[in-house]
Amino acid sequence: MQQTEILLTIKLQQQLFVDPKRVRLLKEIRQSGSINQAAKNANVSYKSAWDHLEAMNAISPKPLLERNAGGKNGGGTQLTHYAERLLQLYDLLAKTQEKAFEILQDEQIPLDSLLSATAKFSPQSSARNQFFGKVKRLDEKGVHCDVMIEIANFPENLTACITESSRQRLQLAEGKEVMLMIKAPWLTLHTQEPNLPNRFIATVCEIIQKGETNEVALEAGNVECFATVHHEMPLVAGEKIWVSIDPEQIVLLAL
């Protein structure tokens, strides 16, 4: 398998702040407690190491190093809390870049949507139904807010009912990308058109028996979704069926 090396560089004030060499130097200082020893471990001269540290400190929002004077073994140097967090952030960004490159290999992942691409390497949910859409309309109703969402290739817009405080926390606005998470039991199947919100017609694709319930794979438009029903409900692959979703049982995620 071909190995990919991604070198991360961070600039501040249009000047180099952090790159792999400087990160290595900071990590060696953390390990040894000495700039001189860190320079040796990083295979750079003391002057070069000092120049790098001076350049970083000159543009850093907070100090990166703390000097400890005196003591039995003389003074030493250690990283500040800010520098420790900087190293953690750098490692996190490096891992994120690696994941981002991995999704390039998967042709099914759209790269024109930050939310859908990010979701592929984010913590996974037990909710079988995960849709991506854009906010089409917001309807504030006191402490609650109805959020109408347009999902590509889905037969109907779906409306989620969330609290107004949640809307503000998610910073929802018309046109913003959102992810909808809906557990399979929250999709209700009907033999006739129900007088309920979020109703649409879907095609039964597959019926899988699981204990006392059946898991039903459905296709609405060109979107796959899943529901669970009791055995008493007769279903046949290929038939059309009505589906409804309670607006309060739709969980929204946004970046």
Mean residue pLDDT across the chain: 88
Instruction: For residue 61, count CB atoms less than 10 angstroms from its CB and return exposed for 0-12, middle for 13-18, buried for 19 or more.
Output: exposed
Rounded alpha-carbon distances, angstroms, from residue 28 to 78, 168, 194: 10, 44, 66
CA distance 14 to 28: 26
> For residue 121, is pLDDT > 70?
no
Q: What is the pLDDT of residue 248?
A: 95
Query: pLDDT-derived band of residue 68, with 50, 70 and 90 as boundaries?
Result: confident
Structural contact between residues 131 and 179, judged by C-beta atoms closer than 8 angstroms: yes
For residue range 135-192, list pLDDT tens digits in order: 999 999 889 999 999 999 999 999 999 999 999 999 999 999 999 999 999 999 999 9
Q: What is the pLDDT of residue 73?
A: 45
Query: pLDDT-derived band of residue 1, with 50, 70 and 90 as boundaries?
Result: very low
Structural contact between residues 28 and 72, judged by C-beta atoms closer than 8 angstroms: no
Rounded alpha-carbon distances, angstroms, from residue 122 to 99, 118, 178, 224, 253: 10, 6, 14, 21, 12
CB burial of 13-49 (b: ≥16 within 10 Å; e: otherwise) equals eeeebbeebbbebbbbbeebbbbebbbebbebeeeeb
For residue range 202-244, list pLDDT tens digits in order: 999 999 888 788 899 999 999 999 999 987 788 899 999 999 9
Write the Ramachandran bin of 21: left for phi over 0, alpha for psi from -120 to 50, otherwise beta.
Answer: alpha
Phi, psi dihedrals of residue 126, rounded to the nearest 5° = -80, -15
Pairing mode of beta strands 251-253, 177-182: antiparallel
For residue range 26-49, list pLDDT tens digits in order: 999 999 999 999 999 999 999 999
> For residue 74, is pLDDT > 70?
no
Share of the chain above pLDDT 70, in %: 91
> Which region among 57-61, 93-97, 175-179, 224-228 has the lowest average model confidence (pLDDT)?
93-97
Q: What is the pLDDT of residue 69?
A: 66
CA distance 86 to 250: 37
Q: What is the pLDDT of residue 124?
A: 62
Query: pLDDT-derived band of residue 126, with 50, 70 and 90 as boundaries?
Result: confident
> For residue 88, is pLDDT > 90?
yes
> For residue 72, is pLDDT > 50?
no
Place of tokens 């998470």: 181
Structural contact between residues 19 and 62, judged by C-beta atoms closer than 8 angstroms: no
> Which region among 7-11, 19-23, 121-125, 215-219 has the lowest average model confidence (pLDDT)?
121-125
| Mean pLDDT for the stretch of residues 74-87 | 88
Query: pLDDT-derived band of residue 71, with 50, 70 and 90 as boundaries?
Result: very low
> For residue 2, is pLDDT > 60?
no
CA distance 104 to 15: 30
